[in-house]
């Protein structure tokens, strides 16, 4: 039972670190999952800001997701997702115009967004990459390839 309790599922608040910046990758893609993320991030000590990379499929409640993380995320970067249900960062930003992510930085891909955010993150900051299984997979591949 202890082994099951200690087991970690890839893509569920999976932790990385780059140059003193904590990185968390999560597959969360709905307001309920974003609420769980908000609670987990509030419970986890962080000396700096929380910077989010968010990429979501067209049929997801992006507004509800961003609202669930209000007060937790200091800066948003939106990324595009390829595929038939995907959308560009511009399309996602248009949907989020009335939210905290309405003035977000934009990137064509999750990999590009993650590189941009890490370039401006400072030691002690925390980066959250989330929004879909596609988002988490792209981030994990990029992080594991750039170690």
What's the pTM? 0.91
3-state secondary structure the chain: CHHHHHCCCCCCCEEEEECCEEEEEECCCCHHHHHHHHHHHHHCCCCCCEEEEECCCCCCCHHHHHHHCCCCCCEEEEECCCCCCCCCHHHHHHHCCCCHHHHCEEECCHHHHHHHHHHHCCCCCEEEEECCHHHHHHHHHHHHHCC
Mean pLDDT (the chain) is 92
Rounded to an integer, what distance in angstroms lies between the CA atom of residue 55 and that of residue 88? Answer: 9
- pLDDT at 93 (0 to 100): 97
Q: What is the mean pLDDT of residues 61-89?
A: 96
Beta-carbon-side half-sphere exposure of residue 105 (alpha carbons within 13 Å): 18
- pLDDT at 11 (0 to 100): 75
How many separate domains does the chain show? 1
Asked whether the predicted pLDDT for residue 63 surpasses 80, the reply is: yes
Assign residue 92 the CATH number of its domain.
3.90.190.20
Residue numbers of the domain that contains 137: 2-145
- pLDDT at 10 (0 to 100): 66
4 band by pLDDT with thresholds 50, 70 and 90: very low
Share of the chain above pLDDT 70, in %: 93
């Amino acid at each position: 039972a202890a082994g099951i309790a200690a087991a970690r599922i890839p893509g569920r608040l999976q932790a990385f670190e780059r140059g003193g910046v904590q990185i968390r990758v999560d597959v969360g893609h709905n307001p309920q999952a974003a609420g769980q993320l908000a609670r987990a991030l509030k419970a986890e000590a962080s000396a700096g800001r929380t910077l989010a990379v968010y990429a979501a499929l067209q049929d997801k409640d992006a507004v509800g997701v961003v609202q669930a993380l209000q007060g937790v995320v200091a800066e948003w970067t939106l990324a595009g997702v390829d595929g038939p249900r995907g959308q560009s960062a511009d399309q996602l930003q248009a949907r989020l115009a009335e939210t905290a992510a309405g003035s977000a930085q934009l990137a064509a891909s999750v990999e590009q967004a993650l590189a941009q955010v890490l370039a401006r993150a400072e030691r002690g900051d925390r980066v959250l990459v989330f929004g879909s299984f596609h988002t988490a997979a792209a981030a994990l591949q990029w992080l594991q390839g750039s170690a």
